[in-house]
Structure formats: structure tokens, C-alpha cells
Structure 1
Amino acid sequence: MKRSTRLWFLLVSIAALLVPGRATESPQYTVVHTESEFEIRLYRSTAWMSAPSDKISFEKATKHGFHRLFQYIQGANLNSTRLRMTKPVVTTFVPGAGALHSSAYYVRFYLQTKFQVSPPVPLPELDLVSDKWAPCCVAVRKFSGFARDGNMVKEAEKLALSLSRSSWANSTNFDSTNAYSIAQYDSPFKLFERVNEVWVDVTGSEETGCGSSSVEAY
């Protein structure tokens, strides 16, 4: 592991894990459907801080975006306000959204509850954007280990296959070449029983609350 990567991992761990007596906040949701290989979640309206990245790989984009977001929560905003680390760190892959129709990545931090309505304004040089997501339904596949360039596409393909074989097959056009997100929950120093997820938006029946899903892709 390169020294720069180890330093980035260390910053994640300090921010997310080594603050005693503080619970780490996450976006709230309700599970509306469960199958053996995935579940459907209904998320409440949420606010995020997003870092666009033109890096060519998932790992490089996540590192690049995280570094700017970490500066933001450490006080690089117009109020010099320090925010708590939340989880998961979400990296969204969007085909064709970059320059010359290249792929783009967006790295996101969920904003803690006290800043959901009015988050501190980031310093302009960080190139961050505040995202407001309406209530939405998301298909989620969990996977273990470390999220890497080598396995993120494979995990997305597994989710696409599972959805195509389920009663939700007509609820999304997801085929692993569409926009999807990788959510990472654990410190990089945690070697076993790690939790990562693939997220993709879906629609469904009004009974589940997913009749008009409007998750933001980017």
C-alpha cells in the first residue's frame, strides 16, 4: 500500500472512529422489500455534500473527493464550522457525465442532522456542491472486503442480474452500465467482516412507497 494511500486511510479512521462517545450518523431508511441477494430501501429526504471528480478510476476518484470533503468538515467552509464524520462514504459512478462524454464520479458525505437544512458553505476552491435528495427507493446489494476498481463493476453486475430475475425487474433499467453508487461503511483498518454496498435507484408499487422514486443520480 502506497504511503499516500495509508495517510488517507488514517485520516478516515481518525475522523470516523476515534471520537469517543459520539455515534456516527447515517441516512435513515425503511426496508420495504427483502430477497436473498438484495433489499429495497426507502430513504427519507437527505442532504449531502458532493465532490465531483474527473479521475479515471473509482479508487482515485474516491481518494480525490474524500480529501476535499475531509477539509470541508474540518472547517474549510465560510463559517469555519467543524462537522462530524458520517457514514457511509458514497462514490457514484455516472457514465457519460464527464468531459467528452467520459465517465464521472461524485464522492458524497451525508450531512449530520443539525446541518441537513442549512449546511455550511464550502470554500470555493474545494469545488463542492450541496445535494438535496428527495425521498427515494434504492436497491442495495451488500458485499464484503475492500471496494476496489477490480470488484465494483462485478458487484454492480451481480445486483443487475439479481434485479432482472426478481419481481423488481421492471422497476429499473439498471444493467451495470447505468449510474450506480458504492457505499463504504468501515475504517480501512478493519480487515474482516467489512460492509460495502452497491446502490441503484428503483421504482415500484405505491404500497411500498416507491411509486415515484426520484433518487438523484448525480
Structure 2
Amino acid sequence: MENPKFLFLGIITIFIVTSTTRIVQCKTYESPQYTVVHKESDFEVRFYRDSSWMTAPTDEISFEKATRDGFHRLFQYIEGANLNFSRISMTVPVLTGIVPGAGPLHSSAYFVKFYLPAKFSAIPPLPLPELNLRPDSWKCHCIAIRKFSGFARDRNIVKEAEKLALSLSKSPWANSTSTDSGYAYSIAQYNSPLKFIRRVNEVWVDVSGSNEDDCKSNLVAAF
């Protein structure tokens, strides 16, 4: 007869593995759709399709404070602080757009953005007025991306943006950066503040092109 002790341990092991699998599955968040059109060792260019976002403007001077303030209001919105009382699933990334200006972080204002799941993209639930949020529809366009790890802080985001700018200056997209969005650059964050290792952040800079062929044509033109 099989030893009851080992049988019990086997059941516990199966339970832990099953539970862990469920937790991993629950952490698969919806993201805006894109296609990578060019990739190098330190950056890539993506073509993002049409998407809908909810935006929290904030006039905080600090990037970190602006992101916390904006996301706090956005979190209330997705938890039901909207006119439909709708609960909205968490998505990634949380995007902080940095408007060009003379501020200490090359900014004059910030806009914190939450990507709306596809089921809410056509008609987003209206936020409660006191949250000071507004919907933002993105048309398809091209974005240059640089990944960086750790936490996105006031002390490192400008350096990461400058590294992306330097990489772009040596690439086919040297003269293709676009200011149509009104942002100098944006910081995309993919992880909870409670995650301390293997964090993923990105610097986003718009480059010219309103469709996938436009993105690729910049590369082709350089050869």
C-alpha cells in the first residue's frame, strides 16, 4: 500500500502547481495591438493599430507623482467610478505622456493613460466628472520603443529617452520623429509597484507614418 504521507505530499504538490498556473493565467493582461516592423539591439519600431485610452491630465512637476496621481484616478474609474458603474479589467501598459516644456524633466505637463479593452473601445463608460478624465482615441501610427528595466523614476527617465534619441539619430528614423501627439516622449510601465524583479518599462517616441507601409518605407529609403 502506498505510504499515506507521500500520497498527501503528492496531492499538495498538484494543488500548488495548479494554483500557480491559474495565477499566471490571471496575470495575462490585454494590451494594444501592434506589429514590429524593425528591430535593433537597443530599440525597435512598432506599428500600433487604432486604440482607445482613458486619460488623466495632471500638472504635477514630478513624473513619479504625476503617474501616481493619474493612475489613482484611473483606478477608481476602472473599479466602477463611471456613469455605467462598469468594472473594467486591468490592462497594460500604463502610459505617462510627457509634454514638451521647460520643466525639470523636459516637461510642462503629464497625461497618464489607461488602455481600454477592446470591448469598451467603441463606447467607453463615461467617468464621473470629479475624476477629471477624458477619452482619447488613437489612430494607427508608428512608435519607436526602447526597453529598460527596474523602476521608472524621475532620475532615470530622461536618460533613457536620450538614449533612444541617440539610437534613432544613427538609424533610418533619424529625421522621422513626430510631434503630432503633442508629447516629447512617453513612459510605458508594465508591472505592479509590488513587483521588484524582472520589471519591464519602455520609452515611446512617435515616428512619422500612419500605416505599416509608412513605417517600413523609412527603413527602405535609407538603403
TM-score range, shorter chain: 0.7 to 0.9
State the shift of 1:167 in Å: 1.4
CA distance in 1, matches of 2:64, 2:211: 37
For 2:65, the equivalent position in structure 1 comes to 60
Q: Which residue of 2 aligns with 1:167?
A: 172
Distance (Å, rounded) in 2 between the aligned partners of 1:208 and 1:184:
28
Q: What is the SS of the residue equivalent to 2:136? A: strand
Partners in 2 of 1:124 and 1:180 — Cα distance? 28
**Residue 147 (str. 1) matches residue 152 (str. 2):** yes
Q: Partner residue of 1:118?
A: 123
Tell me the percent identity.
Answer: 68
1:96: how far off? 3.6
Q: Report if aligned partners of 1:54, 1:105 keep a CA contact under 8 Å in 2.
A: yes
Contact 2:47 2:211 in 1 (8 A): no
Counterpart residue type for residue 105 of structure 1? Y
One-letter code aligned to 2:130: E
User: Does residue 84 of the first structure (1) align with residue 89 of the second (2)?
Assistant: yes
Task: Show structure 1 runs of 5+ residues with no match.
Answer: 1-17, 213-218
1:131 is aligned to: 136
Q: Is it true that 1:42 corresponds to 2:15 in the alignment?
A: no
Normalising to structure 2: TM-score of the pair?
A: 0.79
What secondary structure sits across from 1:150 in the alignment?
Answer: coil
Which aligned pairs between 1:68-107 and structure 2 lie closer than 5 A? 68-96=73-101, 103-107=108-112
Q: CA deviation at 1:206?
A: 7.1
1:133 to partner: Cα distance: 0.3
The answer (yes or no) to whether the contact 1:205–1:211 under 8 Å persists in 2 is no
Shift of 1:105: 0.1
Of 26, 34, 40, which aligns to 2:31? Answer: 26
Taking the aligned partners of 1:36 and 1:91, their CA distance within structure 2 comes to 24
C-alpha distance in 1, partners of 2:25/2:150? 26
Identify unmatched segments of 5+ residues in structure 2.
1-22, 218-223
TM-score (norm 1): 0.80
- Aligned equivalent of 1:15: none
